[in-house]
Chains A and B, each alone.
Chain A
Amino acid sequence: MSELRSNRRISVSEDSKPVLPRHARLKFDETRQRWVILAPERVLAPDDIAVEILQLCDGERSVADIIDLLVAKYAAPRDDIGTDVMAMLQDLADKGFLTQAREKTS
Protein backbone atom coordinates (compact mmCIF):
# COMPACT_ATOMS: atom_id res chain seq x y z
CA MET A 1 0.00 0.00 0.00
CA SER A 2 2.80 2.43 0.88
CA GLU A 3 4.32 1.47 -2.46
CA LEU A 4 1.17 2.50 -4.31
CA ARG A 5 1.19 5.78 -2.51
CA SER A 6 4.80 6.59 -3.30
CA ASN A 7 4.08 5.86 -6.95
CA ARG A 8 1.21 8.26 -6.98
CA ARG A 9 2.80 11.23 -5.22
CA ILE A 10 5.87 11.71 -7.31
CA SER A 11 8.73 14.05 -6.77
CA VAL A 12 9.42 15.63 -10.16
CA SER A 13 13.01 15.62 -11.38
CA GLU A 14 14.55 16.03 -14.83
CA ASP A 15 14.63 12.23 -15.10
CA SER A 16 10.90 11.83 -14.42
CA LYS A 17 8.74 10.65 -17.29
CA PRO A 18 5.45 12.21 -16.28
CA VAL A 19 2.03 11.37 -17.62
CA LEU A 20 -1.49 12.28 -16.56
CA PRO A 21 -3.19 9.39 -14.72
CA ARG A 22 -6.50 8.09 -16.12
CA HIS A 23 -8.47 10.14 -13.63
CA ALA A 24 -6.95 13.45 -14.74
CA ARG A 25 -8.12 14.24 -18.26
CA LEU A 26 -6.80 17.06 -20.39
CA LYS A 27 -9.63 18.11 -22.63
CA PHE A 28 -10.57 21.04 -24.85
CA ASP A 29 -13.82 22.52 -23.58
CA GLU A 30 -15.69 23.54 -26.72
CA THR A 31 -18.33 25.55 -24.86
CA ARG A 32 -15.85 27.79 -23.06
CA GLN A 33 -13.19 27.55 -25.78
CA ARG A 34 -10.38 26.62 -23.43
CA TRP A 35 -8.39 23.67 -22.19
CA VAL A 36 -9.33 22.08 -18.89
CA ILE A 37 -8.05 19.25 -16.72
CA LEU A 38 -10.89 17.14 -15.33
CA ALA A 39 -10.11 15.52 -11.99
CA PRO A 40 -12.13 14.16 -9.08
CA GLU A 41 -14.34 16.99 -7.78
CA ARG A 42 -12.16 19.51 -9.61
CA VAL A 43 -11.89 21.30 -12.90
CA LEU A 44 -8.50 22.89 -13.42
CA ALA A 45 -7.93 25.60 -16.00
CA PRO A 46 -4.33 25.35 -17.27
CA ASP A 47 -3.00 28.31 -19.24
CA ASP A 48 -1.67 27.89 -22.79
CA ILE A 49 1.88 27.13 -21.75
CA ALA A 50 0.82 24.61 -19.13
CA VAL A 51 -1.26 22.89 -21.83
CA GLU A 52 1.73 22.81 -24.14
CA ILE A 53 3.82 21.15 -21.42
CA LEU A 54 1.11 18.65 -20.53
CA GLN A 55 0.68 17.66 -24.15
CA LEU A 56 4.35 16.69 -24.12
CA CYS A 57 3.87 14.51 -21.02
CA ASP A 58 3.37 11.12 -22.67
CA GLY A 59 5.16 8.89 -20.14
CA GLU A 60 8.05 8.45 -22.56
CA ARG A 61 9.66 11.87 -22.72
CA SER A 62 11.62 12.86 -19.63
CA VAL A 63 11.21 16.26 -18.04
CA ALA A 64 14.69 17.08 -19.37
CA ASP A 65 13.48 16.28 -22.93
CA ILE A 66 10.45 18.49 -22.44
CA ILE A 67 12.56 21.39 -21.18
CA ASP A 68 14.94 21.02 -24.13
CA LEU A 69 12.06 21.14 -26.59
CA LEU A 70 10.70 24.33 -25.04
CA VAL A 71 14.14 25.95 -24.83
CA ALA A 72 14.58 25.36 -28.55
CA LYS A 73 11.11 26.66 -29.38
CA TYR A 74 11.16 29.79 -27.22
CA ALA A 75 14.89 30.52 -27.36
CA ALA A 76 14.86 31.23 -23.63
CA PRO A 77 17.47 30.44 -20.94
CA ARG A 78 17.28 26.78 -19.91
CA ASP A 79 17.38 27.63 -16.22
CA ASP A 80 14.29 29.84 -16.43
CA ILE A 81 12.24 27.36 -18.44
CA GLY A 82 13.42 24.44 -16.34
CA THR A 83 12.37 26.12 -13.10
CA ASP A 84 8.91 26.96 -14.42
CA VAL A 85 8.27 23.54 -15.94
CA MET A 86 9.33 21.70 -12.79
CA ALA A 87 7.25 23.96 -10.56
CA MET A 88 4.10 23.47 -12.63
CA LEU A 89 4.53 19.70 -12.84
CA GLN A 90 5.28 19.40 -9.12
CA ASP A 91 2.18 21.46 -8.35
CA LEU A 92 0.11 19.04 -10.40
CA ALA A 93 1.83 16.02 -8.80
CA ASP A 94 1.15 17.39 -5.32
CA LYS A 95 -2.53 17.59 -6.17
CA GLY A 96 -2.35 13.91 -7.14
CA PHE A 97 -2.99 14.59 -10.84
CA LEU A 98 0.37 13.56 -12.28
CA THR A 99 2.00 10.16 -12.30
CA GLN A 100 4.99 8.69 -14.07
CA ALA A 101 5.59 5.77 -16.34
CA ARG A 102 6.63 2.81 -14.22
CA GLU A 103 10.12 1.46 -14.70
CA LYS A 104 10.13 -1.98 -16.19
CA THR A 105 11.36 -4.33 -13.48
CA SER A 106 11.66 -7.52 -15.51
Chain B
Amino acid sequence: MSPTLTDASPVFTDPADSLAIMERTRSTAETFGIPLAVLAELTHRCPLQCPYCSNPVELDRGSTELTTDEWKKVLSELAEIGVLQIHFSGGEPTARKDIVELVQHATDVGLYSNLITSAVLLTRDKLSALADAGLCHVQISFQGNEPVVADRVGGYRNGHAKKLEVAKWTRELDLPLTVNAVMHRQNLHQLADIIQMAVDLDADRLEVANVQYYGWALKNRAALMPTIDQIDETSRIVEDAQLRLKGILDIDYVVPDYYALRPKKCMGGWGRQFFNISPSGKILPCHAAETITGMEFESVRSNHSIAWIWQNSEAFNRYRGTGWMPEPCQSCAFKEVDFGGCRCQAFALTGDAGNTDPACTLSPVHAEIFKLAETESTEGRDRFIYRNFKGGTLEPDADDVHGR
Protein backbone atom coordinates (compact mmCIF):
# COMPACT_ATOMS: atom_id res chain seq x y z
CA MET B 1 0.00 0.00 0.00
CA SER B 2 1.41 3.51 0.41
CA PRO B 3 -1.55 5.75 0.37
CA THR B 4 -0.97 9.13 -1.16
CA LEU B 5 -2.69 12.48 -1.16
CA THR B 6 -2.04 14.46 -4.27
CA ASP B 7 -2.59 18.18 -4.18
CA ALA B 8 -4.79 18.27 -7.24
CA SER B 9 -5.24 21.95 -7.66
CA PRO B 10 -4.60 24.76 -5.32
CA VAL B 11 -7.20 27.21 -6.40
CA PHE B 12 -5.30 30.48 -6.58
CA THR B 13 -1.75 29.61 -5.70
CA ASP B 14 0.10 27.06 -7.67
CA PRO B 15 3.18 25.58 -6.00
CA ALA B 16 2.98 22.20 -7.70
CA ASP B 17 0.52 22.09 -10.53
CA SER B 18 -0.77 18.55 -10.49
CA LEU B 19 -3.95 19.47 -12.25
CA ALA B 20 -3.25 16.86 -14.89
CA ILE B 21 -4.25 14.21 -12.37
CA MET B 22 -7.75 15.62 -12.30
CA GLU B 23 -7.90 16.35 -16.01
CA ARG B 24 -6.83 12.92 -17.14
CA THR B 25 -10.09 11.14 -16.44
CA ARG B 26 -13.15 11.86 -18.50
CA SER B 27 -14.86 15.12 -17.80
CA THR B 28 -17.62 17.18 -19.33
CA ALA B 29 -15.25 19.46 -21.15
CA GLU B 30 -13.28 17.24 -23.47
CA THR B 31 -10.24 19.38 -24.11
CA PHE B 32 -10.07 21.64 -21.12
CA GLY B 33 -11.55 20.05 -18.02
CA ILE B 34 -14.08 22.10 -16.17
CA PRO B 35 -12.32 24.03 -13.39
CA LEU B 36 -12.42 22.58 -9.90
CA ALA B 37 -13.26 25.98 -8.43
CA VAL B 38 -15.15 29.00 -9.72
CA LEU B 39 -15.20 32.57 -8.45
CA ALA B 40 -18.70 34.07 -8.25
CA GLU B 41 -18.57 37.84 -8.00
CA LEU B 42 -22.07 38.39 -6.68
CA THR B 43 -21.93 42.18 -6.77
CA HIS B 44 -19.56 45.07 -7.38
CA ARG B 45 -21.17 47.02 -4.54
CA CYS B 46 -18.82 47.39 -1.57
CA PRO B 47 -18.63 49.70 1.46
CA LEU B 48 -14.83 49.79 1.16
CA GLN B 49 -13.04 51.87 -1.46
CA CYS B 50 -9.62 50.21 -1.69
CA PRO B 51 -7.46 51.92 -4.32
CA TYR B 52 -6.21 48.55 -5.65
CA CYS B 53 -9.63 46.93 -6.04
CA SER B 54 -9.52 44.01 -8.48
CA ASN B 55 -12.92 44.89 -9.94
CA PRO B 56 -12.90 46.63 -13.30
CA VAL B 57 -12.96 50.44 -13.35
CA GLU B 58 -16.33 50.18 -15.13
CA LEU B 59 -18.31 48.60 -12.30
CA ASP B 60 -21.54 46.64 -12.81
CA ARG B 61 -24.46 48.57 -11.29
CA GLY B 62 -26.75 46.87 -8.78
CA SER B 63 -29.60 46.91 -11.30
CA THR B 64 -27.65 44.67 -13.72
CA GLU B 65 -26.85 41.97 -11.14
CA LEU B 66 -28.11 38.43 -11.58
CA THR B 67 -31.22 37.74 -9.52
CA THR B 68 -31.36 35.19 -6.71
CA ASP B 69 -33.01 32.67 -9.03
CA GLU B 70 -30.43 33.27 -11.75
CA TRP B 71 -27.56 32.69 -9.33
CA LYS B 72 -29.23 29.53 -8.02
CA LYS B 73 -29.57 28.21 -11.54
CA VAL B 74 -25.89 29.01 -12.16
CA LEU B 75 -24.82 27.19 -8.97
CA SER B 76 -26.85 24.12 -9.92
CA GLU B 77 -25.34 24.11 -13.40
CA LEU B 78 -21.79 24.50 -12.05
CA ALA B 79 -22.25 21.53 -9.70
CA GLU B 80 -23.69 19.45 -12.52
CA ILE B 81 -20.77 20.00 -14.89
CA GLY B 82 -18.18 19.12 -12.26
CA VAL B 83 -17.21 22.28 -10.41
CA LEU B 84 -16.42 21.35 -6.79
CA GLN B 85 -15.85 24.65 -5.02
CA ILE B 86 -17.52 28.03 -5.22
CA HIS B 87 -15.91 31.22 -3.97
CA PHE B 88 -18.49 33.89 -3.16
CA SER B 89 -16.81 37.20 -3.73
CA GLY B 90 -17.51 40.70 -5.00
CA GLY B 91 -17.43 43.62 -4.39
CA GLU B 92 -18.72 42.66 -1.02
CA PRO B 93 -20.76 39.44 -1.31
CA THR B 94 -22.63 40.08 1.95
CA ALA B 95 -24.03 43.28 0.41
CA ARG B 96 -26.41 40.84 -1.32
CA LYS B 97 -29.47 40.32 0.87
CA ASP B 98 -29.71 36.74 -0.42
CA ILE B 99 -26.20 35.63 0.59
CA VAL B 100 -27.43 33.04 3.14
CA GLU B 101 -29.91 31.65 0.61
CA LEU B 102 -27.18 31.35 -2.03
CA VAL B 103 -24.76 29.61 0.36
CA GLN B 104 -27.57 27.22 1.34
CA HIS B 105 -28.24 26.47 -2.32
CA ALA B 106 -24.53 25.83 -2.93
CA THR B 107 -24.59 23.37 -0.05
CA ASP B 108 -27.76 21.72 -1.36
CA VAL B 109 -26.21 21.05 -4.76
CA GLY B 110 -22.97 19.75 -3.20
CA LEU B 111 -20.62 22.70 -3.72
CA TYR B 112 -17.93 23.49 -1.15
CA SER B 113 -18.37 27.17 -0.38
CA ASN B 114 -15.94 29.91 0.52
CA LEU B 115 -16.82 33.47 1.49
CA ILE B 116 -14.32 36.14 0.41
CA THR B 117 -15.35 39.18 2.39
CA SER B 118 -14.34 42.56 3.76
CA ALA B 119 -16.38 41.51 6.82
CA VAL B 120 -17.58 45.01 7.70
CA LEU B 121 -21.26 44.29 6.96
CA LEU B 122 -21.42 41.03 8.92
CA THR B 123 -23.20 40.60 12.24
CA ARG B 124 -22.66 37.58 14.44
CA ASP B 125 -26.17 36.38 13.63
CA LYS B 126 -25.53 36.64 9.89
CA LEU B 127 -22.24 34.76 10.17
CA SER B 128 -23.91 32.11 12.29
CA ALA B 129 -26.68 31.76 9.70
CA LEU B 130 -24.04 31.36 6.98
CA ALA B 131 -22.33 28.62 9.01
CA ASP B 132 -25.67 26.87 9.47
CA ALA B 133 -26.25 27.13 5.72
CA GLY B 134 -23.10 25.07 5.23
CA LEU B 135 -20.43 27.68 4.60
CA CYS B 136 -17.05 25.90 4.67
CA HIS B 137 -14.42 28.65 4.86
CA VAL B 138 -14.12 32.40 5.45
CA GLN B 139 -11.49 34.69 3.97
CA ILE B 140 -11.29 38.20 5.42
CA SER B 141 -9.29 41.01 3.83
CA PHE B 142 -7.17 43.26 6.03
CA GLN B 143 -5.64 46.54 4.90
CA GLY B 144 -3.08 46.80 7.72
CA ASN B 145 -2.52 45.62 11.29
CA GLU B 146 -3.95 48.69 13.02
CA PRO B 147 -6.78 51.13 12.25
CA VAL B 148 -4.87 54.25 11.23
CA VAL B 149 -3.34 52.81 8.08
CA ALA B 150 -5.99 50.15 7.50
CA ASP B 151 -9.02 52.46 7.65
CA ARG B 152 -7.30 55.02 5.44
CA VAL B 153 -6.49 52.42 2.76
CA GLY B 154 -9.98 50.94 2.84
CA GLY B 155 -11.55 54.39 2.97
CA TYR B 156 -13.93 53.11 5.65
CA ARG B 157 -14.05 54.34 9.22
CA ASN B 158 -13.80 51.71 11.98
CA GLY B 159 -13.46 48.97 9.36
CA HIS B 160 -10.36 47.43 10.94
CA ALA B 161 -11.97 47.01 14.37
CA LYS B 162 -15.00 45.37 12.74
CA LYS B 163 -12.80 42.94 10.82
CA LEU B 164 -11.04 41.85 14.01
CA GLU B 165 -14.41 41.19 15.61
CA VAL B 166 -15.71 39.15 12.69
CA ALA B 167 -12.47 37.14 12.53
CA LYS B 168 -12.98 36.22 16.18
CA TRP B 169 -16.59 35.14 15.54
CA THR B 170 -15.42 33.07 12.59
CA ARG B 171 -13.14 30.98 14.80
CA GLU B 172 -15.74 30.81 17.59
CA LEU B 173 -18.08 29.23 15.04
CA ASP B 174 -15.30 26.76 14.22
CA LEU B 175 -14.98 27.95 10.64
CA PRO B 176 -11.49 27.95 9.15
CA LEU B 177 -10.14 31.44 8.56
CA THR B 178 -7.85 32.85 5.91
CA VAL B 179 -6.47 36.35 6.38
CA ASN B 180 -5.88 38.11 3.08
CA ALA B 181 -3.49 41.04 3.20
CA VAL B 182 -2.94 43.07 0.05
CA MET B 183 0.47 44.73 0.33
CA HIS B 184 1.89 47.90 -1.23
CA ARG B 185 4.32 50.68 -0.47
CA GLN B 186 2.12 52.30 2.18
CA ASN B 187 1.54 49.24 4.36
CA LEU B 188 4.53 46.96 3.74
CA HIS B 189 6.19 48.26 6.90
CA GLN B 190 3.42 46.48 8.82
CA LEU B 191 3.96 43.04 7.28
CA ALA B 192 5.63 41.43 10.31
CA ASP B 193 2.81 42.72 12.52
CA ILE B 194 0.17 41.50 10.06
CA ILE B 195 1.68 38.02 10.22
CA GLN B 196 1.51 38.12 14.01
CA MET B 197 -2.07 39.42 13.82
CA ALA B 198 -3.02 36.39 11.69
CA VAL B 199 -1.48 34.07 14.30
CA ASP B 200 -3.30 35.88 17.11
CA LEU B 201 -6.59 35.62 15.21
CA ASP B 202 -6.05 31.84 15.03
CA ALA B 203 -6.13 31.92 11.24
CA ASP B 204 -5.22 28.80 9.26
CA ARG B 205 -3.83 30.65 6.29
CA LEU B 206 -2.43 34.02 5.40
CA GLU B 207 -2.29 35.31 1.85
CA VAL B 208 0.35 37.97 1.44
CA ALA B 209 -0.67 39.36 -1.92
CA ASN B 210 1.30 42.13 -3.51
CA VAL B 211 -0.89 44.48 -5.52
CA GLN B 212 -1.24 43.59 -9.18
CA TYR B 213 -1.37 46.60 -11.41
CA TYR B 214 -4.37 46.74 -13.68
CA GLY B 215 -7.70 48.53 -13.35
CA TRP B 216 -7.91 50.55 -10.15
CA ALA B 217 -4.42 49.62 -9.02
CA LEU B 218 -2.92 50.89 -12.26
CA LYS B 219 -4.62 54.25 -11.69
CA ASN B 220 -2.99 54.22 -8.24
CA ARG B 221 0.38 52.78 -9.21
CA ALA B 222 2.40 55.81 -8.10
CA ALA B 223 0.79 55.64 -4.64
CA LEU B 224 1.14 51.87 -4.28
CA MET B 225 4.34 50.71 -5.97
CA PRO B 226 6.82 49.37 -3.41
CA THR B 227 10.48 50.30 -3.48
CA ILE B 228 13.11 47.68 -4.26
CA ASP B 229 14.34 47.82 -0.67
CA GLN B 230 10.83 47.07 0.57
CA ILE B 231 10.56 44.05 -1.71
CA ASP B 232 13.85 42.60 -0.49
CA GLU B 233 12.72 43.08 3.10
CA THR B 234 9.30 41.55 2.34
CA SER B 235 10.76 38.39 0.87
CA ARG B 236 13.03 38.02 3.89
CA ILE B 237 10.15 38.48 6.38
CA VAL B 238 7.90 36.03 4.54
CA GLU B 239 10.57 33.35 4.20
CA ASP B 240 11.47 33.67 7.87
CA ALA B 241 7.80 33.44 8.94
CA GLN B 242 7.11 30.46 6.67
CA LEU B 243 9.84 28.51 8.45
CA ARG B 244 9.01 29.72 11.94
CA LEU B 245 5.26 29.13 11.63
CA LYS B 246 5.30 25.78 9.82
CA GLY B 247 2.32 23.77 11.03
CA ILE B 248 0.79 26.86 12.66
CA LEU B 249 0.05 29.25 9.82
CA ASP B 250 0.28 28.54 6.10
CA ILE B 251 1.55 31.60 4.27
CA ASP B 252 0.95 32.02 0.55
CA TYR B 253 3.06 34.74 -0.97
CA VAL B 254 2.27 36.46 -4.26
CA VAL B 255 5.45 38.12 -5.51
CA PRO B 256 5.10 41.55 -7.12
CA ASP B 257 5.73 40.79 -10.75
CA TYR B 258 7.13 44.20 -11.69
CA TYR B 259 10.20 43.12 -9.75
CA ALA B 260 10.30 39.53 -11.01
CA LEU B 261 12.45 38.22 -13.84
CA ARG B 262 9.81 36.01 -15.39
CA PRO B 263 6.06 36.58 -15.45
CA LYS B 264 3.60 34.77 -13.21
CA LYS B 265 1.59 31.87 -14.59
CA CYS B 266 -1.49 34.04 -14.43
CA MET B 267 -4.71 32.13 -13.65
CA GLY B 268 -2.73 28.94 -14.29
CA GLY B 269 -2.91 29.86 -17.97
CA TRP B 270 -5.77 31.66 -19.75
CA GLY B 271 -8.83 29.41 -19.99
CA ARG B 272 -6.95 26.48 -18.56
CA GLN B 273 -8.19 25.96 -15.02
CA PHE B 274 -10.21 28.96 -13.90
CA PHE B 275 -13.17 31.14 -14.73
CA ASN B 276 -15.22 33.63 -12.82
CA ILE B 277 -18.72 34.98 -13.19
CA SER B 278 -19.26 38.73 -12.98
CA PRO B 279 -22.22 40.31 -11.14
CA SER B 280 -24.14 40.68 -14.40
CA GLY B 281 -23.41 37.08 -15.39
CA LYS B 282 -20.48 37.32 -17.77
CA ILE B 283 -18.13 34.35 -17.77
CA LEU B 284 -14.57 35.62 -17.62
CA PRO B 285 -11.15 33.92 -17.87
CA CYS B 286 -9.91 36.17 -15.04
CA HIS B 287 -11.56 38.64 -12.68
CA ALA B 288 -9.67 41.48 -14.38
CA ALA B 289 -10.46 40.36 -17.94
CA GLU B 290 -13.02 43.09 -18.50
CA THR B 291 -10.18 45.61 -18.28
CA ILE B 292 -9.23 44.34 -21.76
CA THR B 293 -11.44 46.54 -23.91
CA GLY B 294 -12.71 45.21 -27.21
CA MET B 295 -13.18 41.63 -26.03
CA GLU B 296 -16.69 40.17 -25.95
CA PHE B 297 -17.54 37.88 -23.06
CA GLU B 298 -20.52 35.55 -23.14
CA SER B 299 -23.10 35.70 -20.36
CA VAL B 300 -25.00 33.05 -18.42
CA ARG B 301 -28.03 34.99 -19.69
CA SER B 302 -27.19 33.93 -23.27
CA ASN B 303 -28.57 30.81 -24.92
CA HIS B 304 -25.34 28.93 -24.29
CA SER B 305 -24.57 26.61 -21.39
CA ILE B 306 -21.69 27.47 -19.07
CA ALA B 307 -19.75 24.42 -20.31
CA TRP B 308 -20.21 25.57 -23.92
CA ILE B 309 -18.94 29.04 -23.12
CA TRP B 310 -15.90 27.61 -21.30
CA GLN B 311 -15.01 25.33 -24.20
CA ASN B 312 -16.06 27.24 -27.27
CA SER B 313 -16.36 30.96 -26.74
CA GLU B 314 -13.99 33.16 -28.68
CA ALA B 315 -12.78 34.95 -25.54
CA PHE B 316 -11.64 31.74 -23.85
CA ASN B 317 -10.00 30.34 -26.95
CA ARG B 318 -8.19 33.48 -28.04
CA TYR B 319 -5.26 33.09 -25.63
CA ARG B 320 -5.57 29.42 -24.74
CA GLY B 321 -2.55 27.17 -24.94
CA THR B 322 0.51 28.44 -26.81
CA GLY B 323 -0.57 28.82 -30.45
CA TRP B 324 -1.48 32.52 -30.12
CA MET B 325 1.90 33.52 -28.76
CA PRO B 326 4.14 36.04 -30.50
CA GLU B 327 7.90 36.07 -30.20
CA PRO B 328 9.77 36.05 -27.86
CA CYS B 329 7.21 33.71 -26.22
CA GLN B 330 6.73 31.34 -29.15
CA SER B 331 10.29 30.00 -29.15
CA CYS B 332 10.73 30.35 -25.36
CA ALA B 333 11.58 27.28 -23.30
CA PHE B 334 9.24 28.52 -20.56
CA LYS B 335 6.14 28.99 -22.69
CA GLU B 336 4.31 26.10 -21.04
CA VAL B 337 5.62 27.09 -17.63
CA ASP B 338 4.13 30.58 -17.46
CA PHE B 339 1.83 30.53 -20.55
CA GLY B 340 3.10 33.98 -21.46
CA GLY B 341 2.15 35.63 -18.18
CA CYS B 342 -0.81 37.93 -17.72
CA ARG B 343 -3.01 39.08 -20.63
CA CYS B 344 -4.57 41.90 -18.62
CA GLN B 345 -1.18 43.26 -17.73
CA ALA B 346 0.02 43.00 -21.33
CA PHE B 347 -3.05 45.00 -22.37
CA ALA B 348 -2.73 47.57 -19.59
CA LEU B 349 0.92 48.28 -20.30
CA THR B 350 1.24 47.78 -24.07
CA GLY B 351 -2.31 48.26 -25.37
CA ASP B 352 -2.39 44.72 -26.84
CA ALA B 353 -3.40 41.73 -24.71
CA GLY B 354 -1.62 39.47 -27.22
CA ASN B 355 1.83 40.86 -26.43
CA THR B 356 4.37 39.30 -24.10
CA ASP B 357 3.64 40.29 -20.50
CA PRO B 358 6.03 43.18 -19.79
CA ALA B 359 6.77 41.61 -16.39
CA CYS B 360 9.03 39.24 -18.38
CA THR B 361 12.60 40.45 -18.85
CA LEU B 362 12.39 39.18 -22.44
CA SER B 363 9.63 41.66 -23.27
CA PRO B 364 10.99 44.53 -25.37
CA VAL B 365 9.32 47.05 -23.06
CA HIS B 366 10.28 45.44 -19.74
CA ALA B 367 13.24 47.71 -18.98
CA GLU B 368 11.33 50.89 -19.72
CA ILE B 369 8.31 49.94 -17.60
CA PHE B 370 10.37 48.63 -14.72
CA LYS B 371 12.31 51.89 -14.64
CA LEU B 372 9.12 53.95 -14.64
CA ALA B 373 7.66 51.92 -11.76
CA GLU B 374 10.88 52.20 -9.82
CA THR B 375 10.87 55.97 -10.29
CA GLU B 376 7.22 56.20 -9.23
CA SER B 377 7.99 54.28 -6.06
CA THR B 378 10.42 56.97 -4.89
CA GLU B 379 8.46 60.11 -5.76
CA GLY B 380 6.30 60.19 -2.64
CA ARG B 381 3.01 60.62 -4.48
CA ASP B 382 0.94 59.00 -1.75
CA ARG B 383 -2.60 60.23 -2.36
CA PHE B 384 -5.02 57.48 -3.33
CA ILE B 385 -7.76 57.52 -5.91
CA TYR B 386 -10.54 55.69 -4.07
CA ARG B 387 -12.57 53.11 -5.92
CA ASN B 388 -16.25 53.92 -6.39
CA PHE B 389 -19.06 53.96 -8.94
CA LYS B 390 -18.17 57.54 -9.90
CA GLY B 391 -14.93 56.47 -11.57
CA GLY B 392 -12.82 57.25 -8.50
CA THR B 393 -12.34 60.04 -5.97
CA LEU B 394 -8.98 61.58 -5.17
CA GLU B 395 -8.07 61.44 -1.49
CA PRO B 396 -8.10 64.85 0.25
CA ASP B 397 -4.79 66.66 0.44
CA ALA B 398 -2.14 65.57 2.93
CA ASP B 399 -2.95 68.27 5.47
CA ASP B 400 -6.42 66.83 5.96
CA VAL B 401 -5.36 63.23 6.03
CA HIS B 402 -4.45 61.19 9.05
CA GLY B 403 -2.76 57.88 8.85
CA ARG B 404 0.43 58.67 7.00
Contact assessment for B9 and A5 in the assembled complex, using a CB-CB cutoff below 8 Å: no
Q: How large is the interface on A (under 10, 10 to 19, 20 to 34, 35 or more residues)?
A: 35 or more
Contact assessment for B248 and A43 in the assembled complex, using a CB-CB cutoff below 8 Å: no
Contact assessment for A41 and B13 in the assembled complex, using a CB-CB cutoff below 8 Å: yes
CB 8 Å contact bits of B151-185 with A (1 = contact, 0 = none): 00000000000000000000100111010000000
Interface majority SS (helix, strand, loop, mixed), chain B: loop
Residues of B within 8 A of A50 (CB): 3-5
Contact of A104 with B by CB under 8 A = no
Contact assessment for B4 and A88 in the assembled complex, using a CB-CB cutoff below 8 Å: yes
Contact of A27 with B by CB under 8 A = yes
Contact assessment for B248 and A5 in the assembled complex, using a CB-CB cutoff below 8 Å: yes
Residues of B within 8 A of A22 (CB): 136, 174
Contact of B36 with A by CB under 8 A = yes
Q: In whole angstroms, how far apart are the Cα atoms of A8 and B202 in the complex?
A: 10
With contacts A5-B248, A9-B247 taken as known, whether A31 is within 8 angstroms of B82 at the C-beta atoms is yes
Q: Which of B8, B26, B114 has the most CB of A within 10 A?
A: B8
Q: Which of B3, B8, B27 has the most CB of A within 10 A?
A: B3
Contact assessment for B204 and A46 in the assembled complex, using a CB-CB cutoff below 8 Å: no
With contacts A31-B81, A50-B3, A96-B250 taken as known, whether A45 is within 8 angstroms of B112 at the C-beta atoms is no
Contact assessment for A43 and B84 in the assembled complex, using a CB-CB cutoff below 8 Å: yes
Contact of B31 with A by CB under 8 A = no
Residues of A within 8 A of B8 (CB): 36, 42-45
Contact assessment for B137 and A92 in the assembled complex, using a CB-CB cutoff below 8 Å: no
Contact of B205 with A by CB under 8 A = yes
Q: In whole angstroms, how far apart are the Cα atoms of A50 and B178 in the complex?
A: 27
Q: How many residues in B have their beta carbons less than 8 Å from beta carbons of A? A: 45
Residues of A within 8 A of B13 (CB): 41
Contact of B69 with A by CB under 8 A = no
Contact assessment for A1 and B84 in the assembled complex, using a CB-CB cutoff below 8 Å: no
Contact assessment for A25 and B247 in the assembled complex, using a CB-CB cutoff below 8 Å: no
Contact assessment for A47 and B247 in the assembled complex, using a CB-CB cutoff below 8 Å: no
Contact of B2 with A by CB under 8 A = yes
Contact of B398 with A by CB under 8 A = no
Q: Could you tell me the distance in whole angstroms from the C-beta of B116 to the nearest C-beta in chain A?
A: 10
Contact of A76 with B by CB under 8 A = yes
Q: Could you tell me the distance in whole angstroms from the C-beta of A11 to the nearest C-beta in chain B?
A: 10
Contact assessment for B84 and A44 in the assembled complex, using a CB-CB cutoff below 8 Å: no
Q: In whole angstroms, how far apart are the Cα atoms of A53 and B4 in the complex?
A: 11
Contact of A81 with B by CB under 8 A = yes
Q: In whole angstroms, how far apart are the Cα atoms of A81 and B7 in the complex?
A: 23
Contact assessment for B5 and A25 in the assembled complex, using a CB-CB cutoff below 8 Å: no
Contact assessment for B82 and A84 in the assembled complex, using a CB-CB cutoff below 8 Å: no
Contact assessment for B205 and A41 in the assembled complex, using a CB-CB cutoff below 8 Å: yes
Residues of B within 8 A of A70 (CB): 1
Contact assessment for B136 and A96 in the assembled complex, using a CB-CB cutoff below 8 Å: no
Q: In whole angstroms, how far apart are the Cα atoms of A45 and B21 in the complex?
A: 8
Q: In whole angstroms, how far apart are the Cα atoms of A91 and B112 in the complex?
A: 22
CB 8 Å contact bits of A1-34 with B (1 = contact, 0 = none): 1001100110000000000011101010111111
With contacts A31-B28, A76-B1 taken as known, whether A45 is within 8 angstroms of B114 at the C-beta atoms is no
Contact of A64 with B by CB under 8 A = no
Contact of B331 with A by CB under 8 A = no
Contact assessment for A49 and B2 in the assembled complex, using a CB-CB cutoff below 8 Å: yes
Contact assessment for B27 and A31 in the assembled complex, using a CB-CB cutoff below 8 Å: yes
Contact assessment for A23 and B176 in the assembled complex, using a CB-CB cutoff below 8 Å: yes
Contact of B308 with A by CB under 8 A = no
With contacts A23-B136, A27-B110, A49-B1 taken as known, whether A43 is within 8 angstroms of B202 at the C-beta atoms is no
Contact assessment for B1 and A9 in the assembled complex, using a CB-CB cutoff below 8 Å: no
Q: Which of A8, A53, A74 has the most CB of B within 10 A?
A: A8
Residues of A within 8 A of B62 (CB): none
Contact of A94 with B by CB under 8 A = yes
Give 10 nearest A-B pairs by CB, closest first.
Answer: A31-B82, A50-B3, A38-B112, A40-B137, A45-B8, A49-B3, A88-B3, A45-B6, A43-B8, A23-B176
Q: List 17 A-B contacts (CB under 8 A).
A: A23-B175, A27-B84, A30-B82, A31-B34, A32-B25, A32-B33, A36-B8, A37-B5, A38-B112, A41-B178, A43-B85, A49-B3, A50-B5, A80-B1, A84-B2, A88-B3, A91-B5
Give the B-binding residues of A (Cβ under 8 A): 1, 4-5, 8-9, 21-23, 25, 27, 29-34, 36-38, 40-47, 49-50, 52-53, 70, 74, 76, 80-81, 84-85, 88, 91-92, 94, 96
Given contacts A4-B202, A43-B11, A45-B21, 13 further A-B contacts (CB under 8 A): A4-B171, A23-B175, A30-B82, A31-B34, A32-B22, A34-B25, A38-B84, A40-B204, A41-B10, A43-B36, A84-B1, A88-B3, A94-B247
